[in-house]
A and B are shown apart, each in its own frame.
Chain A
Amino acid sequence: MNMNEASLPAGRQGHIHPISSLIREANRIFFDMGFTFVEGPLLESEWYNFDALNVPKDHPARDMQDTFFIKDEPGYVLRTHTSGLQIRYMTEQMKKGMPPPYRVIAPGKCFRNEATDITHEAEFYQIEGLAVGEDISLAHLKGTFRKFFSEIFKGNVEVRFRPSFFPFTEPSIEIDMRLTGETAPEKLRDKWIEIGGAGMIHPQVLENCGVDSKKYQGWAFGPGLDRIAMLKWGIDDVRLMHSADLRFVNQF
């Protein structure tokens, strides 16, 4: 029981959803590094969600996603990731005659057609990030994540990569992080934690957007925001995010 609660409710503030708080904070951190916040539709065309990202029809790579299809609207899906926003942004910029450098983040809701449990939700949040230029390397990705996580988790952060596969990046990696030092939350301290996928944007993906892959290169990442929120605040059930339960929301 919290004795501070023993007060009259008059003038009490409401609470924002923890994911909203995280997006606000992420935007602030990335804005300072030069990243523009972009968004796009949840109901997405297969071109943006799959084809332009090197995921052809009838390819086993499509099995990596459990996709919601829309009745009577062939060619449209509920976006399975925020990665399609890379394509939207770069294509739009090139049409406006604006070649790289680009720095973009795109936090937003995504969908996965599967049964829900304490770690899986059909609706979840991802934060896409993209940096393209003439000399953007994987080393910069490590640096960017270290900065992002050390601000989000208020601690010293180490970032580690493991090999992975995504059709739209080459090389593809998984990102792990480890918090060290006194300021890190005790439950997370000194443990490697899986954060999400990333990689150097596949040259074909750049070309699909009209970007010259001989001249420009860059990376993209797409970790889950629900997962980061669960780690940051010790949330034990992802279904709370969409529960609309104030016993949850009012703790933030």
Chain B
Amino acid sequence: MQTFFDSPLPSAEDLSNALTFHAFEIEGIENVRVRNSNMEDQALDVKVTPNRGHDALSHRGIAKEISAILKIPMRVDPLRENPPDGGSLEPRTDTIKVTVEDPMLCPRFTGAYIKGVRVGPSPEWLKTALESIGQQSINNIVDATNFIMFSLGQPLHAFDAAKLTAKRNSWALNIRLARKGETLVGLDDKEYSLSPSMLIIEDANAGTVVSIAGIKGGKPTCIDESTTDIFLEAANWDGVTVRRTSQALKLRTDASDRFQQVISPELAAYGIRAAKDLIVELAGGAIVGYVDEYPQPQLIRQITITTARINALLGTILNDEEVVDAFERLGLPFEKKGGEFVVTSPFERLDLMIPEDLVEEVARIIGYEKIPTTELPEFQKKPDINQNFAATEKVREELVSKGYSEVYTSVFADEGERAVSNKVGGERPYLRATLLGGLREAEVRNARNKELLGLRNIKLFEIGTVWQGGKEKMVLGVADDEGIHESELVSDGKAKRYEAYPISKADRFTPFSKYPFIVRDIAMWVPQGPDAISEVLTIFAQEGGLLLRHVELFDQFKKDDRISYAFHLVFQSFEKTLTDAEANEVMTRITTDVEKRGWQVR
């Protein structure tokens, strides 16, 4: 990253913060080892949002962001330099003829024919650079194309020219859709069966597929130690075609990830020139010439915005100078016409289309913390009462007051009228037609915990969606000792307001043990009066400690000056399944303590 700047960059943490609050989320910061040295460097894992896949899936793109956010000028911006050939990819060659059957699917195809390279290992700096981002070094040619892809965002591919079929000392490539039955063995040694929706590059003199466009090159034309002449490709492919092909072949590559986001066709020229330069530097050789099929150059887009409009959307009070500052830092060329800014989108920023896109650019560069906190003004209209919600709330409250608890169960079931077609894991693919199955299961499971819950019987209800008789319905299901039944919930449509039903007063949730519990009963005679029972409870707490999960007084009666209490004591451990012996031991201690006070355990 530092290579893009003259002045030293702040620490990885500071860069991470800058990007987080002004551009993208950071997934992590990793320490990476520099090859053959004790030095360590740090790699930021940036989560580029889908709208910025056009320009920011590259080190140059992230450098541009850092430059704008931290107001540090870039030493060089490779996409803003004027190329020595004036951008026209000179010299041209006609040794390789490229035919694009449908320019909609391949808006641009550039190539470079380079002769006399020596394939070998990459220098250490290049190996380190690729390994630090999880890439394997292969050879100087392939590494150069990968390095330029990560640097500028333009994927490239190198063919061994000698492995393409020559006719009268010239080659021909054809960009077309695959034919049924065609296959290609990829660089990964896997054979891919192609179909007519997939775009390919054909060696036209041989009639064979040499590459799956924008996704993977073929093994038969790959670079190896014997390669001396190469044909370098930097093309622009239709995003939807690449995406569908990649999904159909279950083949995702760094190239397909970039093309499916759609990149600017202008970028191809920058990519091919940079890759050519790097290859000649690392592997020698000389350029014979370029090819460039680019029938319809990208249109320049202009967007008009005012400071007033920006302020109206953000609720800010920015002035023109602050807006100008944001545009300048982002390198967005603009003209001021009257009260309006006419901003020209840089070619790689395909995301900038409407004025609101510029509002976002200004907002994130000046920082969202500049947006004030303002309460909404009073609303002139009275909100409507949602009759369905009012009806469910009434039912909910009635059942709760009768001791029923509300559960939510899954909408996925083993049977039903409709099913999902792609459930992860594949279990319970149906949409439930009834709540009864889920409630029955819930009742059985909760019944096992009755004593722990301190309940005599389990009473449940659910208000939920079912798909029944071809319709989506809201139904009420109730489960108790009488049975399980359900009915459709229909509102009477007469609620005039929402009732002030209570909200949960719970403070914090206490996790519960996953291990089985043991219930022991104890009954005793104690003197009448409030002191005895609180003393008994203290004994329980002292002797039971963390194992005693629940105490329930289930019976009491008076006789003469004494009173008899009977309790359920529920024991459970957080660490293991409790044994009978362990529960008995606690019960013995409790009995001893009670009897020590001269009271009688029955």
Contact = CB atoms under 8 A, between A and B. Distances in A.
A165 B501 CA distance: 38
Nearest to A56: B240
B376 A144 contact: yes
Given A34-B378, A139-B372, A70 B261 contact: no
A163 interface: yes
Contacts of A94: none
Nearest to A165: B49
Nearest to B457: A9
Given A140-B315, A170-B356, A113 B423 contact: yes
A175 B252 CA distance: 32
Given A12-B403, A13-B401, A161 B537 contact: no
Nearest to A152: B503
B388 interface: yes
Interface stretch (B215-223, B362-370, B523-531): B362-370
B226 interface: no
Contacts of A19: 408
A18 B438 CA distance: 19
Interface string B291-324: 0000000000000000000001111100000000
Given A14-B399, A33-B379, A244-B407, A60 B360 contact: no
Which bucket holds chain B's interface residue count?
35 or more
A184 interface: no
Q: Name which of B359, B401, B422 has the most chain A CB atoms within 10 A of its CB.
A: B422
B260 to A, nearest CB: 6
Nearest to A159: B373
B581 interface: no
B243 A58 contact: yes
A142 B374 contact: yes
Contact of B315 (A137, A165, A173): A137
Contact of A14 (B23, B400, B420, B462): B400
A217 B313 contact: yes
A14 B498 contact: no
Interface in A119-137: 122-123, 131, 135-137
A214 B350 CA distance: 23
Contacts of B20: 162
B356 A5 contact: no
B425 interface: yes
B371 A68 contact: no
Contact of A140 (B25, B363, B376): B376
B155 interface: no
Contact of B537 (A6, A114, A185): A6
Given A36-B384, A36-B386, A163-B360, A15 B400 contact: yes
B571 to A, nearest CB: 10
Contacts of B439: 244
A14 B423 contact: no
From A14, A137, A249, residue with most partner B Cβ within 10 Å: A14
Contacts of B400: 13-16
B424 interface: yes
A14 B403 contact: yes
B312 A15 contact: no
Q: Which of B312, B371, B399, B423 has the most CB of A within 10 A?
A: B371
B5 interface: no
B303 to A, nearest CB: 12
Given A14-B403, A43-B431, A59-B50, 13 more contacts: A13-B401, A15-B406, A16-B400, A43-B418, A58-B240, A103-B376, A137-B312, A140-B375, A146-B373, A163-B363, A171-B359, A246-B455, A251-B510
Interface of B: 20-25, 49-53, 239-240, 243-244, 260-261, 312-316, 354, 356-357, 359-360, 363-364, 368-369, 371-376, 378-384, 386, 388-389, 393, 396, 399-412, 418-425, 429, 431, 438-439, 441-442, 445-446, 449, 452-456, 458-460, 462, 465, 467, 472, 498, 501, 503-504, 506-512, 537, 540-541, 544, 548-554, 567
30 contacts: A6-B553, A7-B553, A16-B405, A17-B407, A19-B408, A24-B393, A31-B498, A37-B383, A60-B53, A60-B239, A63-B50, A64-B50, A69-B421, A70-B418, A103-B379, A109-B465, A139-B315, A139-B316, A143-B374, A143-B376, A165-B52, A170-B357, A217-B312, A233-B506, A244-B441, A244-B445, A245-B407, A246-B453, A251-B506, A251-B509
